[in-house]
Copies of this chain bind each other. A is one copy, B any other.
């Protein structure tokens, strides 16, 4: 469903090429100072323009249509909307029934009996992540002042040296191809005690949100998959003091599903952009045959770049909900 959270709850709606997309945030405490300009910094991080991302340039102006009075949140649901202005539906119309590989075209068509809005991916579009970014901005305001996020791509197309990321992107673009990437989010200053055993472990709630972000295919905390190759004597994090500080942090700040006050470390693996300029053979529902498809339109060479702030927003949303549940 399109709702997430217990005491901080978001509902999102909209399609890539519909009239508006939006998000309603319930459970925002009253009295938080908030202005539309507060969204600008994170929206800019997400916005198209960097090397390797699509040239589509929405103005992405957030409009707060409820829940705000005299510059402060009211405690009632806070709704933020974005208009869809710069759309070129004709680019996408052809693809509707000639299913793009590794896109939601085919699964959405089947699930919704062909009634889904196919333009630009419809409700499955990466454009919907705008609403997550907006929600993340509010979520961060709900967290203690001590909290600091640092989120960045740590690997692009298999390359782990940021100095060479551009090169990787340009080569892929030249080949009309795309690359995947890995984003790491580190959060300092989180209170200990967040996370609800058994099922709402901090990892469960964060991963739930991260796997809702389009293109995320893997999530790991702390040592993650690499930790499975260590021995207990290497992996265990000895506790140093009453505050729970540990000598190492293989746990990534979460033990027994509960934050321990150390730095939270989470990584998300994002698959390569499925929309590529190269011709692909794939099933055409109209002709009932496998036929060559050339995807037109504008696409990111690497989703992971634009998804960086989305990953951060997802983590912030999860932490805000867990904080309210304490």
Contact = CB atoms under 8 A, between A and B. Distances in A.
A240 B69 CA distance: 28
B232 A212 contact: no
A107 B218 contact: no
Contacts of A179: 230-232
B74 A240 contact: no
Q: Interface size class for chain A? A: 35 or more
A30 B273 contact: no
Nearest to A109: B244
Nearest to A218: B220
Given A115-B30, A212-B201, A217-B222, A110 B231 contact: no
Total copies of this chain within the assembly: 4
Contacts of A240: 283, 290
Nearest to A12: B198
Contact of A14 (B66, B221, B274): B66
Contacts of A48: none
Nearest to A171: B231
A211 interface: yes
Interface in A191-229: 192-193, 195-201, 203-205, 207-209, 211-212, 214, 216-225, 227-229
A119 B66 CA distance: 13
B225 A182 contact: yes
Given A20-B66, A110-B193, A225 B232 contact: no
Given A218-B228, A237-B102, A192 B107 contact: yes
A6 B130 CA distance: 26
A136 to B, nearest CB: 14
Nearest to A221: B217
Contact of A207 (B27, B211, B229): B211
The 6 nearest A-B residue pairs measured at CB: A104-B256, A218-B220, A178-B232, A76-B123, A30-B115, A13-B77
